[in-house]
Amino acid sequence: MSLLNHVPPQPSLAQTSNNAVPPRPSPFGPRAGTPPPLPTRPSLPAGPAVQYSLIPAGQTVMRFQLKGLGDPFHRLLGDPLNLDYGTPQKAAEVLHKDEALRQRVTVLLDEAWGRYQLVGAMLLTPYEVAARVYTTPLHPIGLADEDEDNPPPTPTPPKCEVVRAIDLALVLNILARVRDGILVAETPLALEPAFLDKTWVASEARLIALGRATGCLEDVWA
């Protein structure tokens, strides 16, 4: 056999696999294992303190709360006075359990609600939130010049008249129809303790006018 016709033996597939060149590492990082940590953002210097205030929507606000208004069944329905019902929680529990009593109160409240002739939606605020807004000092809009000796004006709370509705029909209607701070005229009554035990504050002119017409007293923030 001549050298020109000699063909060297080819390596087998197994030999080729064993002698394969290892893959190059990916330029985009490792494919497996724990990823490298993300670069941390350099801390920025703190900016100037920002002062802001929440400005009340009106000059008069009205509180709607059942506490302190007495036995609702005696005052609304003429039932015999019950000293236990002077506590709102007790009265609400009895109203929730006694279906006949609840029906009598519902008829009376629906009749009163129709006479109010309210339409649309009205916004109310939980008492705790309103108390913070109306008693927190308002920060001054402008500060004194640095060249002047006059100090900046002292922040003062907003001036606001606080009154409380005392008409039981109005108060019960409001408490039993508010849903998450929204009072819609067509909302049905919900005479459960979870609704009647709340305290709401409104700056809505229509509700304030109703409260003044049905009876209200001067109030202060607790």
- Which domain, by its residues, includes 110? 60-143+155-218
- The pLDDT of residue 4 is 47
Is residue 20 one of the residues assigned to a domain? no
- Give how many domains the chain has, as a whole number: 1
Sign of the Cα pseudo-torsion (75, 81, 87, 89, in order): negative
Q: Compute the CA torsion angle 109, 111, 113, 119 (nearest 10 deg).
A: 150
Is residue 51 one of the residues assigned to a domain? no
pLDDT tens figures, 103-125: 999 999 999 999 999 999 999 99
pLDDT tens figures, 80-105: 999 999 999 999 999 999 999 999 99
**Of residues 196, 19, 161, the one with CA closest to residue 91:** 196
d(CA 62, CA 162) in angstroms, rounded, equals 6
pLDDT tens figures, 60-78: 999 999 999 999 999 999 9
Q: Compute the CA torsion angle 176, 179, 181, 185 (nearest 10 deg).
A: -70
Question: In a structure prediction context, what are the per-residue pLDDT tens digits for the chain, which is 222 residues long?
Answer: 444 455 555 555 445 445 555 666 555 555 556 666 767 777 667 666 666 666 667 789 999 999 999 999 999 999 999 999 999 999 999 999 999 999 999 999 999 999 999 999 999 999 999 888 888 877 665 555 555 666 666 777 778 899 999 999 999 999 999 999 999 999 999 999 999 999 999 999 999 999 999 999 999 888
Q: How many CB atoms lie within 10 A of CB 167?
A: 17
